[in-house]
Amino acid sequence: MLEFNQSSKNTLLVKFSGDWRMSNELPSTDSFTTTLETSPAIRKIAFDSDSITDWDTGLLTFLNQLLEQCGLRNIEADRSGLPEGARRLLDLAAAVPERKGARRSEKQASRLERIGKAGISWYAGAHEMITFIGEAVVAFGRLLRGKARFRRSDFLQIIQETGAQALPIVTLISFLIGLITAYMGAVQLQQFGAQIYVANMVALAMAREMGAMMTGIIMAGRTGAAFAAQLGSMRVNEEIDALSTLGIPPMEFLVLPRMLALMLMMPLLTLYADFMGILGGALIGITSLDLGAVEYYEQTRNSVQLKDFGMGLFKGVVFGILIAISGCLRGMQSGGSSSAVGVAATSAVVTAIVMIIVSDAILTVIYNILGI
């Protein structure tokens, strides 16, 4: 397939034969490099391609590597023996200068360099998020002054998508969470004959924590990803640029109605999830723990107060804002390709869930400090 013959003292003949296509296993340039190192007198190479049966970019890649080796050693290359098409393509490639930075560097970055790049990337991401939040606050201020511009029909449509259409999955997950919580508590409480307190545990857990948390995670995966995909598709189709060209702020027209819709719907969904979780716990208490329906209801009513539901509802509002910010931010940051939309949707879900967990921990600590 590849032979080297030294036709004269300072000339090396490179003879090709067979099929030189990418689908075949092609030889490396190591043998050529070894031949040049063992014969330092070689100052010129020539090519013989008469025995080549077929070729494609595999031959061009190999020739390009050979010519690079010749250039490094100041060896003249006679291309007259190459196929005419290969000569033209090589001349065309040589006529266009290589773009700086286009060649992939094989040098592995040091650990310090990787840490530095990660820190710079984190700082840039945090700066973009803070800027986005600031623009959202400005847009909300314009709304309070009656100057924000968005369509009422879009706002009502988003409310329907984030509210009524989310009820089935919120119902299922919340009911099962209440059921599982009751089961887990019953295993321990039955040992002390205190299974009646399953009602207290389920009610407090759903009202203060699990209702808002599970609703937030559901909406992050459902609505946050949808927001990112919608805005990402608009970015790909240049619709967002068109709005800016028309003098319509995308933050007011696209982001603000989505944020308002989640701020309104998340507390309602959280309250609904609380009651569905309590209903799931009641099913276990009545069917498995021999508790009466009235007895379970009275125990639940005595164990929770309005402030417990208020704490969960406030968390729901916060989670709604964070989900809207995450979804809209990643959608606005989306690249110009279809694959970038999928990346934006995935990033929106991850960002929203992380922010929900962190904010929930912070709010729980604050509640504990305030004694509520």
> Does residue 108 belong to any structural domain of this protein?
no
* The predicted structure's pLDDT at residue 152: 87
Q: DSSP letter at 130?
A: H
What pTM was estimated for this model as a whole?
0.69
* The predicted structure's pLDDT at residue 48: 84
Q: How far apart are CA 321 and CA 265, in angstroms?
A: 11
Q: Are 164 and 15 found together in one domain?
A: no
Q: How far apart are CA 271 and CA 188, in angstroms?
A: 28
Banded model confidence at residue 80, pLDDT cuts 50, 70, 90:
confident
Which residue, 58, 73, 95, sits at the end of a domain? 95
What tokens appear for 254 in the block?
């696209």
Which residue, 78, 95, 112, sits at the end of a domain? 95
Which residue, 53, 71, 95, sits at the end of a domain? 95
> Does residue 172 belong to any structural domain of this protein?
yes
Q: Are 350 and 263 found together in one domain?
A: yes
Q: Are 261 and 182 found together in one domain?
A: yes
**Exposure letters 272-300 (e unless 16+ CB within 10 A, then b):** bbbbbbbbbbbebbeeebebeeeebeebb
Q: How far apart are CA 224 and CA 170, in angstroms?
A: 15
> Does residue 235 belong to any structural domain of this protein?
yes
* The predicted structure's pLDDT at residue 99: 64
pLDDT in tens, 26-69: 788 888 788 878 887 888 888 888 888 888 888 888 888 888 88
Q: How far apart are CA 107 and CA 115, in angstroms?
A: 16
CATH number at residue 86: 3.30.750.24
Is-contact 45 9, C-beta < 8 A?
A: no
Q: Are 238 and 361 found together in one domain?
A: yes
pLDDT in tens, 279-289: 999 998 888 88
Neighbours of 149 (CB within 10 A): 13
pLDDT in tens, 176-191: 999 999 988 888 888 8
* The predicted structure's pLDDT at residue 194: 84
> Does residue 161 belong to any structural domain of this protein?
yes
Q: How far apart are CA 262 and CA 68, in angstroms?
A: 60
Q: How far apart are CA 190 and CA 193, in angstroms?
A: 5
> Does residue 110 belong to any structural domain of this protein?
no
Q: Are 203 and 308 found together in one domain?
A: yes
Using DSSP's 3-state secondary structure scheme, residue 80 falls into coil
Banded model confidence at residue 236, pLDDT cuts 50, 70, 90:
confident
> Does residue 115 belong to any structural domain of this protein?
no
Q: Are 204 and 83 found together in one domain?
A: no
When divided into structural domains, the chain yields a total of: 2
What tokens appear for 350 in the block?
């991850």
* Contact partners, residue 15, CB within 8 Å, separation at least 6: 2, 3, 4, 5, 47, 48, 51
Please determine, for residue 7, whether its predicted confidence score (pLDDT) is greater than 80.
Answer: no
Q: Are 175 and 305 found together in one domain?
A: yes
* The predicted structure's pLDDT at residue 288: 85
pLDDT in tens, 210-223: 999 999 999 999 99
Q: Are 195 and 300 found together in one domain?
A: yes
At residue 78's C-alpha, the angle toward residues 73 and 81, to 5°, is: 135
Is-contact 327 223, C-beta < 8 A?
A: yes
pLDDT in tens, 242-296: 988 888 888 889 899 999 999 999 999 999 999 999 999 999 888 888 888 898 8
Q: Are 221 and 351 found together in one domain?
A: yes
Q: Are 164 and 311 found together in one domain?
A: yes
pLDDT in tens, 298-353: 999 898 889 999 999 999 999 999 999 999 999 988 887 778 888 999 999 999 99
Is-contact 199 291, C-beta < 8 A?
A: yes
Q: Are 86 and 154 found together in one domain?
A: no
Beta 11-20 vs 2-8: how paired, if at all? antiparallel
* The predicted structure's pLDDT at residue 65: 83
Q: Are 218 and 81 found together in one domain?
A: no
> Does residue 198 belong to any structural domain of this protein?
yes
> Does residue 7 belong to any structural domain of this protein?
yes
Q: Which domain holds residue 327?
A: 149-370
Is-contact 153 210, C-beta < 8 A?
A: no
Lowest mean per-residue pLDDT among 109-113, 236-240, 304-308, 321-325: 109-113
Is-contact 70 97, C-beta < 8 A?
A: no
pLDDT in tens, 132-174: 889 889 988 888 888 888 888 888 999 999 988 999 999 999 9
